[in-house]
Structure 1
Amino acid sequence: MLNRTEKTEREGRARRVAGIEKYNSNVDRRTSQNGPLVFAVFIAVTVFACVLGLGFALGGKLDVWWLFGALAAAWAATMAVHIAMEWEKVVVFRLGKFSRVKGPGLYFTIPFIEQTALKADQRIMVTGFGAEETLTSDLVPINVDAVLFWMVWDAKKACLEVENYYNSVSLAAQTALRDAIGRASVSEVAIRRNQLDQELQEVIEERTSVWGITVLSVEIRDIVIPAELQEVMSAEAQAEREKNARMVLAEVEKDISAMLVDAANVYEENELAVRLRTMHLLYESVKGSGGTVVIPSAYSEGFSDAALDKAIDGLKSGK
């Protein structure tokens, strides 16, 4: 039986994985096919109508042969005339060998001889990926979610060097993330998020550059640490802060005690300084309270005119 904490963590991980898969599945890579599809239908209908019109003009009627000929001509026209959207690069093969890269705009191929092998979308792509229960260098399982921004800059390499460049980029990013987490401790992963982003970008870029793909940036979205470890780390941080506070307080007490020792040495060598300090403290007490202070007879002598004149003479003579 799983306790409530473990059950909650598993449900959270399941939701994160489902969110990443849903995010990746919602990437609409069919957008670039709407325009070419409409254009292909237009070409097919136009050629079909022209061939039927030509057959009717020549023979005065339409038969089955003209109908089959119109269908064949329309099919051949759709295989020969194409358009590529502004963000697309099209890789064309001739008899199974690489021929050229076309697009955007109108381009032509030889029916049955040349084929469109790949339509590469050169817009910035966004891929969500993560690492579930990956062990850090100090053997702590953590969950990390990240986002990868990348684009295809060489359609030929994306077609020839890798089978499915989109899935390959996602798998390369996941592998790089797991390797980076395994080399760092849990505290380093939590604190050095920017450094981890930069490290992942460099590693993924090195792996995907041979596929004609460049990585623009990698961003860590979330780092989930087990609840038990969060409590331990919080207690450790609090203890560290309390330790620093006590050290600062000890340094302050040390400075204060040194100053008090210096003051005591001065008072010990000069009795007049003690009396003046006593008078100053009494004055501050009366001034702050606004009332009266009862001065013992032993201290009252210090306030007489003779004592004040003596104190002034002592200050002037430097005694």
Structure 2
Amino acid sequence: MIGDFIGGNAILLALAGFIILSIFLGVRIVPQSEKHVVERFGRLRAVLGPGINFIVPFLDVVRHKISILERQLPNALQDAITADNVLVKVETSVFYRIIEPEKTVYRIRDVDAAIATTVAGIVRSEIGVMELDEVQSNRAQLISKVREQVAAMVDDWGIEVTRAEILDVNLDEATRAAMLQQLNAERARRAQVTEAEGKKRAVELAADAELYAAEQQAKAKRIMAEAEAFSTNVIAEAIAKNGLEAAQYQIALRQVEALSEVGKGDGKQTILLPASALEAFSDAFAMLRGIGK
């Protein structure tokens, strides 16, 4: 009786343990940042997404737990030779995430190493068809090409390349020294060109100034000539209207002006005039007084 009771309880306990173990093995809670790969008898059975999932206990086994978070490969340096035979060291950085774990776990063993090797080969290939100046100036275009080719090649591995960056392009010391020398020569050439252009501009401005001065002098002479012509016309009209007296008046006026110019000075000079000149001045003053009256 007691033995039957103990035997019955043992069976119930074994059954309860089996049920608990089955539930424990059959219910799988997958975190949001992971996907689980399930196998049955060594073959792919299913890929469990985030949340509560159910599998067949004792038959299905969670063989791989894959993180789907974005990952970054360690920064890598690789040598490359440009189309103009310049050796450069390229530093790259790659970010990726696994989107199809069933491909990743069954098609590639070391994901990080495979991606790093792929990126190195693509970078060398792209830089090999570009000259050094193009590599330096068209880095954005180079990065775009590298990203596209890497994304296409890792697609079979169930991987998405989110970013592929070329952080730096380093030159060897000899090339750097040659480029520095070339840069200094270019700066010296630009300085010489700037100085030459400045001298040329100065000469042009001086020529413009001389031309302006000549134009102003010509303009002044033209104005003086016009004034003299006008004066001559006035005198001619006066002579035509008043006859000889107008001419004598103009002569007397010029004689008085000449005497005034001769008399200008510091008072120390001595002026000698012939008697005929004094008589001419007397006649001029007399004529002026007469005309004034």
Q: TM-score, normalised by structure 1?
A: 0.56
Alignment partner, residue 185 of structure 2:
239
| Separation (CA, whole Å) in 1 of partners of 2:85 and 2:121 | 18
Higher Cα Rg: structure 1 or 2?
2
Aligned to 2:163: 217
> Are 2:84 and 1:138 equivalent residues in the alignment?
yes
Per-residue deviation, 1:151:
1.1
Counterpart residue number, 1:126: 72
What amino acid is the match of 2:170?
Answer: V
Equivalent runs, 1:107-186 vs 2, <5 Å: 107-111=53-57, 113-186=59-132
Q: After superposition, what is the alpha-carbon deviation per residue over 1:28-82, rounded to whole angstroms, capped at 9, x for unaligned?
A: xxxxxxxxxxxxxxxxxxxxxxxxxxxxx945999xxx99xx8x99987775454
**Cα 1:179/1:117, change in 2 over 3 Å:** farther
Q: Determine which of 138, 141, 163 is the counterpart of 1:192.
A: 138
More displaced stretch, 164-173 vs 110-119: 110-119
Distance 1:60 1:98 in 2: 40
Structure 1: how far apart are the matches of 2:23 and 2:117?
39
Aligned-pair distance for 1:137? 1.8
Change (3 A) 1:166 1:74: farther
Q: CA distance change for structure 1 residues 235 and 74 in 2, over 3 Å: closer, same or farther? A: farther
Equivalence map 1:23-42=2 (5 Å): none
Can you give the 5+ residue segments of structure 2 that lack an aligned partner in the other structure? 221-293
Counterpart code for 2:56: I
Separation (CA, whole Å) in 2 of partners of 1:242 and 1:196: 32
2:157 maps to a residue whose letter is W
Measure, in 2, the Cα distance between the counterparts of 1:170 and 1:133: 13
1:204 maps to what in 2? 150
Aligned residue for 2:74, secondary structure, equals: strand
* CA apart distance, 1:269: 4.5
- Once residues 112 and 167 of structure 1 are traced to their aligned partners in structure 2, the CA distance between those partners, rounded to angstroms, is 35
How many pairs were matched up?
Answer: 213
- Residues 1:147 and 1:103: Cα distance change in structure 2 (over 3 Å): same
Which of 174, 197, 208 is 1:262 aligned to?
Answer: 208
What residue in structure 2 maps to residue 89 of structure 1? 35
Cα distance in 2, alignment partners of residues 179 and 78 from structure 1: 52
Change over 3 Å in CA distance of 1:161–1:133 after alignment to 2 = closer
Q: Which amino acid aligns with 2:137?
A: I
Partner Cα separation in structure 2 for residue 224 and residue 160 of structure 1: 38
The CA deviation at 1:92 is: 1.8
Partner of 1:102: 48
* Aligned CA distance change for structure 1 residues 61 and 116 (closer, same or farther; 3 Å): closer
More displaced, 119-128 or 77-86?
77-86
Report the RMSD for the aligned CA atoms in angstroms.
3.4
Percent identity reads 24
State how far apart, in whole Å, the 2-side matches of 1:229 and 1:273 are: 65
SS at match of 1:128: coil
